Amino acid sequence: MENTISTVTDEELMLMSSKNPELRFEQNADGTVVAMAPTGGISSNRELKAGAYLLNWVEDHDLGEVFSSSGGFRLPNGALRSPDAAFVAKGRLADNWDEEEDKFIPLAPDFVIEIRSKSDSLEVLQEKMQEYIENGVRLGWLVDRQHQCAYAYRADRSITQYPADAVLNGEDVVSGFTIALKKLL
């Protein structure tokens, strides 16, 4: 469930987040803030699994950095998004990105994963995936637990739907990374 509130600065949004840890906030390109309620246990578990599998692969192969749904990315269109899991390739982050004050990351990740929870609108998530791609994300997976499938969104604007028994792969974005979709459903 999403509720929109008025436009705020990054600093105000960080303060809102710290004072409301039970909520997750994103900001649309027009500046409106969207508050999202916590997910249920199954969705939370699948989000963590997706991030953990991705983190392990990226760390083992020294490919870059992985971020959880707590992290915010300021996209080129001005939107602030927090995918359930995100990967940024080595060399794309500023050298001292992890030594500065905790701020939203001013770029689009290379790869994102969104897990649809029971309260999420498929149409809203599909629009979000399109926004990611339009703003520089090279590959995105939208895992739709309700329909037992996943969609891969690519920089070339192609979209592929995969059935529950498919094995998803990181293609040329997270080279060698694969996961059986069933683990995320």
The 10 Å Cβ neighbour count of residue 145 is 18
Q: Is the pTM of this model over 0.85?
A: yes
Q: Indicate the pairing of strand 159-163 with strand 33-36.
A: unpaired
CATH number of 39-184: 3.90.1570.10
User: Per residue in 159-185, pLDDT tens?
Assistant: 999 999 999 999 999 999 999 999 999
Q: What are the φ and ψ backbone dihedral angles of 87, each rounded to 5 degrees?
A: -125, 135
- Evaluate if residue 147 carries a pLDDT over 50: yes
Residue with tokens 């020294």: 62
Q: In sequence order, what are the beta bridge partners of 34?
A: 4, 26
The predicted-structure confidence for 18-67, as pLDDT tens digits, reads as follows: 777 666 777 788 888 877 767 778 888 999 999 999 999 999 999 999 99
Where do we find the tokens 């998803």?
168
**Count of other CB atoms within 10 angstroms of residue 9:** 10
75/30 Cα distance (integer angstroms): 12
What is each CA distance from 38 to 41, 78, 84, 94, 117, in whole angstroms? 9, 24, 12, 31, 10
**Domain edges within the chain:** 39-184
> What's the mean pLDDT when you consider all of the chain?
89
Q: Which percentage of the chain shows pLDDT scores above 90?
A: 66
The two counts, helices (H) then strands (E), for the chain are 3, 13
Short-list 137, 91, 90, 89, CA closest to 114: 137
Neighbour count for residue 19 (Cβ, 10 Å): 8
